[in-house]
Amino acid sequence: MRVMILVALLWCSALAALAHDDADHDDDAETIDVSGVSVPEHVSYHEHVRPIVEANCVACHADGQIAGYAPFTLAEDVVWAAPDIKFHVVNGLMPPWPPSRENLPLKYDRSLSDQEIAIIAAWVDDGAPLGDPHDYVPSATDGFTLVDVRADLVLQIDEPYTPAEDVLDDYRCFAIPLDIDAPQYITGFDYIVDVAEMAHHNIVYLFDERATRAIQRRNYADGRPGWSCYGGPGLSAEAEWIGGWGPGAMPVIVPEGTGFIIRPGQHIVIEMHYNLRTSREPDQSRVILQLEPAERQLAELTLVPLVAPVEIPCPDSVEGPQCERETAIERAKELFGQDRRYKPDYLLRECGQNLTDYAANTGENARGYCDYPLTDSFTIFSVGAHMHELGRSFRLELNPGEEDSTLLLDIPDWDFHWQDHYFFVEPLQVARGVVLRMTCVWDNSLSDEPRYVVWGEGTSDEMCFGSVLALEP
């Protein structure tokens, strides 16, 4: 159905690959230096701080939103939290925005300017004065608001599913028939995750009629909704991957004039990864779709997955059989039956690499990367990244090391809780022949029980996974 438009080719120059070194990453958030920025002599809440908070914080910090437990909608709330606000803002922790300032400009950028940070810091240092409400003028700059996805079709797991008792990571696939009379385009996605504490991520696939029999055979085969699906839905039918969610992911509206086509008779399969370390409750998550009629003749989108090898040795201080690569491979096989595509040696081969390419990996600084020479020229709208809890940094770049190299996504301090999909301010035209490189860096000393880690489905395993939303070439 879909032609893979990116093909992993042999990367023959190991030297060039090693020249790109990610050795330096810091443990602690760095204080943003705003000492050179000038601020008004008297900073007040109403005149200066309120417009910043309203434009940049209340989309999340309001009743019913994800940070509703700490609302900033009233003056007294903001004054009360002032020292905490300064701490989070000057350390770059809030608003949450993992991409660095070197990144290509991104839409929905939530970060504050140096000027805004300096104003908040000065206000808190002055004792957080309220000032005169008449001085309030709403912010003139675009702040951060959530996009509003129209709920034209709501897809919900048909009855609550309680994850399996005997596993720490349950992967469950739920098929939902598309209840539509005519072809339509999906132009927006919103993911309503029912039990946030156990939702690790989800992936949304589109299957055509040919998968219907296989779906019927598997669904409820063990008496419970859906079926177990480590490593993908496994319906021996080709699927189109059209969306997904990770912690911190925001609702998505695709670029104007584009969409994913869906047809009557097709199924959406939602693959849920439940991590059961802290909770195991019935879940009935939903995906909300915004639709447009097929007559609109939109340009068709494709979501392209990128993968790279995961070869993470033990830290120097840890020894034992758990530090052997073979042990790690056996473990992944036993626990997850490991899909062929994610087997460590297969990943190396697909990226044209050998284990020797990872000889420099240490427990504290292990890198995985893959080069994708583009076999077509095309338009890219957005990119996403997924790693687990050992992740340190993530980069997606075009023509790395060259003069014309471009940073599509630069996340210097990986945070598992903020995994968004990032849209470029301007869609990117990329020429055939350009090399797209994805690089993940991990730190195994972040683990409570370090062992050699390879690609695996569990939360304590790792992935180096990227996604690119592009126009069908």
93-112: b or e for each residue (b if 16 or more CB lie within 10 Å)? Answer: ebbbbbbbeebbebebbbbb
Instruction: Please state the closest distance from residue 58 (CB atom) to ligand HEC, in A.
Output: 8
Torsion sign, CA atoms 202, 208, 213, 216: positive
Nearer to ligand HEC, 93 or 360 (CB): 93
96 or 234, CB closer to ligand HEC?
Answer: 96
Q: How far is the CB of 92 from ligand HEC (least distance, A)?
A: 11
Shorter beta-carbon distance to ligand HEC: residue 118 or 436: 118
- Contacts with 276 (C-beta within 8 Å, 6 or more apart), sequence order: 163, 167, 168, 169, 170, 198
Residue 451 corresponds to which tokens in the numbers above? 């062992």
CB of residue 193 to ligand HEC, shortest distance in Å: 13
Complex with ligand HEC: residue 86 or 172, whichever CB lies closer? 86
What is the nearest approach in angstroms of ligand HEC to the Cβ of residue 248? 7
Contact residues for ligand HEC, defined by CB under 6 A: 56-57, 59-61, 66-67, 70, 81, 84-85, 88-89, 94-96, 110, 112, 144, 417
Pair of tokens at residue 420? 């968004």
* Least separation in angstroms between CB 15 and ligand HEC: 41
Task: Tell me the closest approach of the beta carbon of residue 251 to ligand HEC, in angstroms.
Answer: 11
Asked if residues 268 and 129 have their Cβ atoms less than 8 Å apart, the reply is no
Q: Determine the Cα angle at 160 with ends 158 and 166, to 5°.
A: 125
Contact status, residue 460 vs residue 330, Cβ threshold 8 Å:
no
Residue nearer to ligand HEC on the CB measure, 59 or 176: 59
Distance of CA 447 to the CA centre of its chain: 21
Residue closer to ligand HEC by CB (options 84, 295) is 84
Q: Residue 125 or 159: which CB sits closer to ligand HEC?
A: 125
User: Using CA of residue 285, residue 244, residue 416, residue 310, what is the dihedral sign?
Assistant: positive
Distance (Å, whole) CA 111 – CA 89? 9
- Which CB sits closer to ligand HEC, 94 or 374? 94
Structure tokens at 210: 């040919």
For the beta carbon of residue 242, count every other beta carbon within 10 angstroms: 21
Amino acid at position 459, single letter: T
Residue reference for tokens 């319906």? 235
In this structure, the dihedral spanned by the alpha carbons of residues 227, 229, 233 and 237, taken in order and rounded to 10 degrees, is -90
Closest separation between CB of residue 261 and ligand HEC, Å? 31
Q: Which is nearer to ligand HEC, 96 or 129 (CB)?
A: 96
Between 90 and 307, name the residue whose CB sits nearer to ligand HEC. Answer: 90
Nearer to ligand HEC, 112 or 252 (CB): 112
User: What is the smallest separation between the CB atom of 215 and ligand HEC, expressed in angstroms?
Assistant: 35
Query: Whole-number minimum distance, CB 143 to ligand HEC, in Å?
Result: 9
Cα distances (Å, whole numbers) of residue 208 to 18, 227, 264: 43, 18, 9
Given a contact cutoff of 8 angstroms between Cβ atoms, the answer to whether 370 and 396 are in contact is: no
Distance, CA of 178 to CA of 271 (rounded, Å): 16
For the CB of residue 375, give the shortest distance to ligand HEC in the complex, in Å: 37
Residue 91: Cβ within 10 Å count: 14
Q: How far is the CB of 69 from ligand HEC (least distance, A)?
A: 7
Cis bond leading into 95, ω under 30°? yes
